[in-house]
Amino acid sequence: MQDALGADLIGIGLAHGQHYQPAYDFYDKIANQYGAGNIVITGHSLGGNVAQRVALKKNVATTVVYNAAPLYIPSVAYLGNKAYDSLRENLQGKFNLPSNKAEAQRTIADIKSDIKAFTGDVIRITTQKDWFNNAMRWLGAVYLGKEYVIPNSGNHDLKTIAEDAKQVASVKQWTTI
């Protein structure tokens, strides 16, 4: 529920981005310990969203994500924050919900600014029948990097990739680092 409501709905959907700070801190710790040039970030689904954002913020050289959630979805952020503000007004006096509009604008502006300065390489691997990414693309979701689609593949999970030698070969071809 924390992932679905906190990170997916509020963090990505409403473009609040509150779920990134622990990942920034962890990256800094590992970069200080092993050197930033030795780090390759990876993630799947929500982890792919976080990996993309850390890559942007820290200008990471190489990132590989699988069926990643987008950085944000402009239409969903706009409509979601309108609905949230309406709910917030209707609940005023009963609950004290903070506004999210300024935070969403700041998060989106930060992402756009970081994209302009980004010099790293993001490899975004998706399965052909991934319902999640197909829907997000249709909604105009913003992702980072070049997308590689595994032909004749499906589902959002990684199990279907890992259990098929042809799909594994496709991934290896695109991710030789």
What is the structure's pLDDT at 35? 97
Residue pLDDT, tens place only, 80-99? 656 666 666 666 767 665 56
Residue pLDDT, tens place only, 111-143? 899 999 999 999 999 999 888 888 888 888 889
What is the structure's pLDDT at 7? 54
What is the structure's pLDDT at 84? 60
HSE toward the beta carbon, residue 24, CA cutoff 13 A? 10
What is the structure's pLDDT at 151? 86
| Beta-sheet strand order (sheet of 121-129) | 40-44, 62-66, 121-129, 146-154
What is the structure's pLDDT at 132? 84
- Token duo for residue 158: 């990684």
Residue 5 has pLDDT above 50, yes or no: no
Residue pLDDT, tens place only, 10-43? 555 556 667 788 999 999 999 999 999 999 999 9
Q: Where are the domains of the chain?
A: 2-175
> What is the rounded CA–CA span in Å between residue 68 and residue 103?
23
Which CATH code fits 2-175? 3.40.50
The alpha-helical segments, DSSP class H, found in 16-94 are 21-34, 46-58, 74-90
